[in-house]
Amino acid sequence: MAKKEKLEHSDFAGEFTDDDVTVLVDIFRKQGSSDGWTMEVIDQDEGLTVWEEPFATDKEAFEEFLATVERDGIRTFLEEPEADPSVH
């Protein structure tokens, strides 16, 4: 049986609410590694938005999330799901 990788989750990860919309921001990397941080945003209907490139720091990832919300609005994460997850 394959061993499941343990993940380290950022302190910036968690629920974020704006304009009466709540999403889950998940920022993580493989535990114990110095690899970049991956960011995913999960909407209330379990739609998934994934950033393709990792971030150098978890703070950088969260700042990109905030910039996206500021620029495009939080409802950008609620668009109709496509066959594949959204990629930023």
**Does residue 87 lie within any of the structural domains?**
no
Average pLDDT, the chain: 89
Number of domains in the chain: 1
> At which residue do the structure tokens 């990397």 appear?
29
**Does residue 1 lie within any of the structural domains?**
no
**Does residue 86 lie within any of the structural domains?**
no
> What average pLDDT does the segment 35-63 reach?
95
pLDDT digits (tens, 9 = 90+) for 69-88: 999 999 999 866 555 555 66
SS3 of the chain: CCCCCCEEECCCCEEEEECCEEEEEEEEEECCCCCCEEEEEECCCCCEEECCCCECCHHHHHHHHHHHHHHHCHHHHHCCCCCCCEEC
- Return the percentage of the chain with pLDDT > 70, whole number: 85
pLDDT digits (tens, 9 = 90+) for 13-35: 999 999 999 999 999 999 988 88
The sign one gets for the Cα dihedral 38, 14, 25, 45 is positive
pTM: 0.82
> What average pLDDT does the segment 37-56 reach?
94
Decide: 49 and 59 in contact? Cβ < 8 Å.
no
Enclosing domain of residue 22: 7-79
